[in-house]
Amino acid sequence: MTEAPLFQRIALLGCGLIGSSIARAAKARGSIAGEIVANDRSAASMARIEELGLADRVEADPAEAVRGADCVILCAPVGAYAELAASIAPNLAAGAILSDVGSTKQSVIRDVGPLVPTGVHFVPAHPLAGTEHSGPDAGFATLFEGRWCLLTPPAGTDADSVTRIELLWKRMGSMVSVMEPAHHDRVLAIVSHLPHLIAFTICGTADDLADETRQQVLQFAASGFRDFTRIAASDPEMWRDVFLNNREALLEMLARFTEDAQAMARAVRWGDAAYIEDKIGRGRKIRRSLIEINQA
Ligand code: NAP
């Protein structure tokens, strides 16, 4: 027997990698949404969403897209959330759940929280799943399978709505955990935002080298540099917004990293082989433990 859909109508605002993956997962599993309405910013993305058949209906106006939806999910870059929330607020149905997928959570609660009308339940969420690709073509139905989704409901959030968003992610194959927003932002700063900052920076540093050297960098890019370039291929607008909206935690982690990098530099300068070997060994252990918990 097929389960009844969790929501009658889900509206997705922003239908790039993450939004289109939700649309695909919901289509692939009938138990999630009776109807999917998609909205995106550019006419080109909207046309592509239609061509790919990702939604039952495509709406150019976000305020129209959310009309009558019992679940609305913001899937645009986090810097666009305040304006989007302001434009949709008057049309959100009483009892609807407003959620999101943004990579920063304190900023989302700061920007969106005050705009949520009484009677609408706001449940911020962040799926820890992604690739370096973006846009409606980049998504796939299995993106969230076996990945964590973190929920950061502000104090006093309606418990039933939290349970429904938890169920939504579980039906898309994710494991779900509830986390305090500030803690989320510190954890993500070290495991995701700082690695991206380092990848963008190292690619820029390599690119700044003289022509002759740059040629060699690209020609002989062995796995280390190649792995950085994969991460650095991520969407500039999305990552600009992440950096600007998790400023304090990111700067804190960058400062700690810089101290540790300086310690490594000192060990290299003074030939401290034991220190260097110990640090490399720790990295190796961390990689092994990720493989063991299926998160590599
Ligand atoms: P993406 O592939 O670049 O998609 C973002 C989509 O949002 C694009 O289709 C873009 O439209 C649209 N958009 C931008 N501004 C908009 C606005 N004001 N109104 C409506 N749509 C707008 O990015 P993504 O990777 O899916 O990221 C979306 C969200 O997921 C972000 O908040 C990000 O922090 C979060 N997230 C990303 C990852 C990841 O690894 N990529 C993982 C977890 C969470 P046009 O292209 O048509 O202009």
Query: How confident is the model over 70-107, as pLDDT tens digits?
Result: 999 999 999 999 999 999 999 999 999 999 999 999 99
At residue 219, the pLDDT reads 74
Neighbours of 65 (CB within 10 A): 24
Contacts of 212 (CB under 8 A, 6+ apart): none
d(CA 139, CA 15): 9
Ligand 1 site residues (CB inside 6 A) read 13-19, 40-42, 45, 75-78, 80, 84, 101-103, 126-127, 130, 134-135, 138, 235, 238, 242
Residue in 48, 106, 133, 134 to alter for ligand 1 test, most ligand atoms within 8 A of Cβ: 134
Average pLDDT of the segment spanning 260-281 = 97
Point out the least confidently predicted range of 43-57, 135-149, 194-208. 194-208
Q: Output 168 or 226, whichever has higher pLDDT.
A: 168
Average pLDDT over every residue of 10-14: 98
In this structure, the residue with its CA closest to atom 11 of ligand 1 is 41
- Pairing relationship of beta strands 33-39 and 97-100 according to DSSP bridges: unpaired
Q: State the pLDDT confidence band at 214, using cuts at 50, 70 and 90.
A: low
The per-residue pLDDT for 208 is 82
Atom of ligand 1 nearest to the CA of 100: 32
Calculate mean pLDDT across residues 8-23: 98
Whole-angstrom Cα Rg for the chain: 21
What CA–CA distance (Å, rounded) separates 143 from 67? Answer: 28
Atom index in ligand 1 nearest the CA of residue 242 equals 34
Q: Which of 50, 109, 238 has most ligand 1 atoms within 8 Å of CB, for mutation?
A: 238
**Ligand 1 pocket test: which of 61, 66, 103 has the largest number of ligand atoms within 8 Å of its C-beta?**
103
CA angle 143, 195, 198 (to 5 degrees): 135
Give pLDDT, residue 205. Answer: 86
Residue 238 Cα to ligand 1 middle (Å): 6
Give residue-wise pLDDT tens across range 147-183.
999 999 999 999 999 999 999 999 999 999 999 999 9
Q: Is the pLDDT of residue 221 over 90?
A: no
Q: Whose CA is nearest to atom 15 of ligand 1?
A: 76
* Cα 74 to averaged position of ligand 1 atoms, centre (Å): 9
Please give the angle made by the CA atoms of 31, 32 and 36, to the nearest 5 degrees. 130
- Give the other-Cβ count within 10 Å of 243's Cβ: 16
Average pLDDT score over residue span 194-212 = 87
Count, in order, helices (H) and strands (E) of the chain.
13, 9
Confidence band (pLDDT; 50, 70, 90) for 257? very high
Instruction: Please say whether the beta carbons of 3 and 29 come within 8 A.
Output: no
| CA 210 to centroid of ligand 1, rounded, Å | 35
Pocket test for ligand 1, best of 12, 13, 15, 17 (most atoms within 8 A of CB): 17
> Considering the chain, what percentage of its residues have pLDDT values greater than 70?
98
